[in-house]
Amino acid sequence: MAIGFHQQNEKTLLKLSLYMAGLFVFVAFGFALTTQSGAILFDGVYSLIAFFMALLTLKVANLVQLPDDDRFHFGYTAIEPTLNLFKSLIIIVTCLYAIVGSIQSLFAGGNAAEYDLAMLYGVFATIGCFAISFYMKNRSKSLRSDLVSVDAHTWFIDGVLSASILIGFVIAYCFEQYGFADYAPYVDPLLLVILGLAILPIPCKIMLDSLKEVIHKAPPEAVTSVIEKRLKQTLAAVPYEHIEVRISKSGRDTYLLVHIIVDESFSVATVRELDSIRKKSEAAMREWNPSIIMDILFICDPELAD
């Protein structure tokens, strides 16, 4: 019941992201045509990308909840970091395109815009994007969903973008009002260059984190050491010489391959006894962290754990 509830919450949040992205696309493009602002146009393109990514994310959210089958023996959770990797690459390309285009605009004399209307858009977009980001992040705390987390980051980036655009429009408007109108056209493209460079680290970090999951790189030692310590506590009743643990995170799942090199005093009469040890250990680990999936092997020869 709890898992189903979490899945429903995840889909609700992702649908909210989809609908709001669609709204922002229409609003941004409308203001971009009215004000002739390249910064607002860029914000609209970003929202358009977010809209199509939200459609894809909803599809992936349905897939990752499916059990393993004949085509995907380990389930569909690997699609999750792959999608996040793709989304981050799209955002990076968009930022780089905006930076290059803005530099060309600067050398061409800048870009004049209707800054009074543009400021109205800036206020609406800034409040809206930060509100959605905060809401999604707050609601997703109890969910183990990288999809929602990345979406919240995407809206935060859009909020930073909109807030910076608003500040730039205020500066340009002041230039026009106080005798510096010749400098006003440079504000819009200069702002885009600064924004693009400032935003890039966020999707780059998402890209690197997602790439680590795609290639099954082990989590940081600070994470693995905690998992190993907890695992050994669940196996305290088992006489062993050493426990070798391989850990891989893929989307919302954390997979543990555990080799228990048993002591000579270890003895069981039936395989059911081994199953009982496995079940108790996995139940305790999943109670601590529901994302954990485990396979436990009992061996005598340490070389089999290599």
The mean pLDDT value for 129-148 works out to 78
Domain 221-305 falls in which CATH fold?
Alpha-Beta Plaits (3.30.70)
**Could you give the CA distance from residue 89 to residue 95 in angstroms, rounded to a whole number?**
10
- Helix, strand, coil % over all residues of the chain, rounded to 5: 70, 10, 20
Residue 127's pLDDT is 92
**What residues have CB less than 8 Å from 283, skipping those under 6 apart?**
none
Q: Can you read off the two tokens belonging to residue 219?
A: 């989590």
Q: What is the dihedral of CA 60, 47, 128, 183, to 10 degrees?
A: 150
Q: Choose from 61-75, 143-157, 252-266 the range with maximum mean pLDDT.
A: 252-266
Summarize pLDDT for 171-199 with one digit per residue, the tens: 888 887 887 778 777 877 787 788 778 87
Task: Report which DSSP code applies to 167.
Answer: H
Name the CATH architecture for the domain at 2-214. Up-down Bundle (1.20)
C-alpha 305, offset from chain centre: 34
Residue 145's pLDDT is 67
Given a cut of 50, is residue 2 above it in pLDDT? no
Residue 72's pLDDT is 64
Nearest partner of 293 among 252, 233, 263, 262, judged by Cα? 252
C-alpha 226, offset from chain centre: 23
What pTM, to 2 d.p., does this model score? Answer: 0.68
Which comes out higher in pLDDT, residue 144 or 99? 99
What value does the mean pLDDT of the chain take? 80
Which of these ranges, 108-112, 152-156, 247-251, has the smallest mean pLDDT? 108-112
Residue 130's pLDDT is 92
In angstroms, the Cα distances linking 289 to 1, 48, 223, 246, 254 are 17, 36, 12, 17, 9
Domain boundaries, the chain: 2-214, 221-305
**Could you give the CA distance from residue 131 to residue 123 in angstroms, rounded to a whole number?**
12
Which comes out higher in pLDDT, residue 98 or 248? 248
Report the run of H or E that residue 255 belongs to, with start and end.
Answer: strand 253-262
Which comes out higher in pLDDT, residue 269 or 276? 276
Percent above pLDDT 90 for the chain: 3
The mean pLDDT value for 268-272 works out to 84
Which of these ranges, 107-121, 148-162, 241-255, has the smallest mean pLDDT? 107-121
Residue/partner pairs of 216-219 with CB below 8 Å, 24 or more apart = 216/248, 216/250, 217/248, 218/246, 218/247, 218/248, 219/247, 219/249, 219/254
In a 10 Å sphere around its CB, with 0-12 CB exposed, 13-18 middle and 19+ buried, how is residue 246 labelled? middle
